[in-house]
Amino acid sequence: MNYKRIVIFFTFILAAAAFGIAGNRFGNSSNTAKQKVYAVSDKRETKESNKIAVVNLDEGVSGREGRVNYGERLSRFPSMDFEYSSLEAARYGLETGRYGAYVIIPATFSQNVESINASPQVSRLEYAVNQSYSGKRQYELLYNVWSYIDSLNNYLSYMYVDNILREFHDAQDQAEYVMENDLEDIRAIEKIRTQELVTLAKSPQMPMDEAKPELLDISFYTAQSVMLAESLDAQYENCIQNIQTNIASLNEGKNTLSESLKELTEQVGGLNLLVDQNGEEIAKKAEERLRTELKRQSENMLDKKMIIEHLKRLRDNQEEFIKSFEQSNRIEILYDEQKQPVLDSGEQPSLVLPFLTEQNQELDYLLAELEQAEEPDMESIIEIIRAEYVNPMEANADQAKKEFQQRYEDELLAVSLYHEQLAAFHPQMNSLFRLQSIQELKENHRNMQNALLENNQAFMEYAQKIAATSREYADGFQKHAAEVKQEAEKAIEEGLSFAKEVKEKNSAMNQRILRSFSLKLPYTRLGSAEYTRVYQFIANPISAVDKSAN
């Protein structure tokens, strides 16, 4: 339907353009002249002639109605001054004065007229006016020539408009057939019922085997395997920890033994029997003590006599003093404990005789002590040597022996304990538990494998049954589908045969109606510029060239 609307719209455009041009340039003329060709005359006219010769050289074109000559069909003489003539007679008549002018229609005029359907070609007419005539006459002749050319141009434009309108009217008339054909197609299609084209068939239900084996649950076996693996792993971990504990104990014993041996070595290396517990050298200390004692005794031996004599002289002098004091009746002076004279506040005399007496007693005591002093004792010297040198040396030797013996026994004990640890260290796995766990794990896997095999066998049998049932169902379904297909094809063929016949008949008619119309003015589809070209061609399908001799 859109195609029909486009065709009608385009036809209206061409018709409007053609009518506009024809209204402006078309002249009313009722004179129809028959084509009369005059022969050449030797008679020369003396007066200026108004006759105009029309030379029609149009060869025409072949059409459905035979040969068509558009130059003759469209030619309308504006006045009685026009007549047809041959080309030779027209030219000669112009020279002799028979004709005041002539117009030549070219041989391709008809071809150019029909060129509108392909590539528009403007017809080029030629005319000539007798130049020997007066200017007024030439003007009148030229006016008449252009009147004829304009009338020919207008008739040709009118013919185009007429043909366009005829095509348009024919398209309108034929459009009714096309629309009626469409309605007939619709009615034919509406008569088709979907239920008549489709054959419903009940699809057989596929049989199902209800004896479907249950899915095997292997969670028990997997849990058992996990438990056995965890137990085995725990046992291995316990063995490894025990081995690590024993190794740590051995390392500790090794370190203890190493420290003991190191300490013994250090003590043996640092043991010095020549010093006492304070670190002083025994021999040097004994020597100093011996020297001191010997010196003391020697000094005592040398000074004893001198002291005794001195003390005796002091005692004698003091006794003489006492005697002389007593004989002189002197007052005694009191002395304190520091042997300082003490004066009382009453200026009473103090007694000095008791003090002198006491001094004499002390001198007697000292003399007695000095006289009783013994001579140097060698035994004491030997005892000093024994006590200060020999005994400490023996004590140190005994102590060193005891310490060496104790250290030796301690080291033997440490070495013995370490050897006992080494002898007791026999790391080994609990093979019985390991073998038992592995055996249980293998047994669990065998049970799981047997269960899987049984379950797989059951599923294989089930799958075989399903496959056999599916094959039987597929074979029956294919057979049933083939029967349904044949019935459906038959129903479709019967239902569409009438619509197909109607459609083929109407399609051929529509093609025939629209074929010729669709071929009109094909070049106008190239763009809007071609519309101007068509307009100009319809408005001015003819041009004229002045061939008058100067």
In this predicted structure, what is the pLDDT of residue 499? Answer: 73
pLDDT of residue 246: 76
Task: Give the model's pLDDT for residue 172.
Answer: 67
pLDDT at residue number 439? 80
CB 159 within 8 A of CB 74: yes
Query: To which residue do tokens 């008449």 refer?
Result: 144
CA 187 to chain centre: 61
Beta-bridge partner residues of 126: 104, 545
* C-alpha span between 90 and 39 (Å, rounded): 9
* Neighbour tally for 540: CB within 10 Å: 15
User: 3-state DSSP call for residue 374?
Assistant: coil
Instruction: Point out which residues pair with 105 in neighbouring strands.
Output: 56
What confidence score (pLDDT) does residue 9 get? Answer: 46
What does 424-459 look like in DSSP terms, one character per residue? H------HHHHHHHHHHHHHHHHHHHHHHHHHHHHH
Single pTM value for the model? 0.35
Residue closest to 129 by CA, chosen among 142, 112, 146, 140:
142
Q: Residue 511: CA atoms inside 13 Å, Cβ hemisphere, count?
A: 6
pLDDT digits (tens, 9 = 90+) for 128-170: 999 989 999 999 999 999 999 998 998 888 787 777 777 767 7
Using one digit for the tens of pLDDT, what is the confidence trace for 440-482? 878 887 888 888 888 888 878 888 878 887 887 777 777 777 7
Note the pLDDT tens digit of each residue in 481-520.
777 777 777 777 766 776 777 777 777 777 777 666 566 6
**Res 347: pLDDT:** 44
pLDDT at 331: 52
pLDDT at 80: 93
State which residues of the chain have pLDDT below 50: 1-9, 12, 14-40, 345-350, 526-529
Q: For residue 110, how far is the Cα from the chain centroid?
A: 77
C-alpha torsion sign, points 12, 13, 18, 21: positive
Region for residue 347 given its phi and psi (left: phi exceeds 0; alpha: psi -120 to 50; beta: otherwise): left
**Which pLDDT score, from 0 to 100, does residue 6 have?**
45
CA 231, distance to chain mean position in Å, is 46
Domains of the chain: which residue ranges?
2-190+520-546, 282-421
Q: In this predicted structure, what is the pLDDT of residue 126?
A: 94
Fold of the CATH domain 2-190+520-546: abc type-2 transporter like fold (3.40.1710)
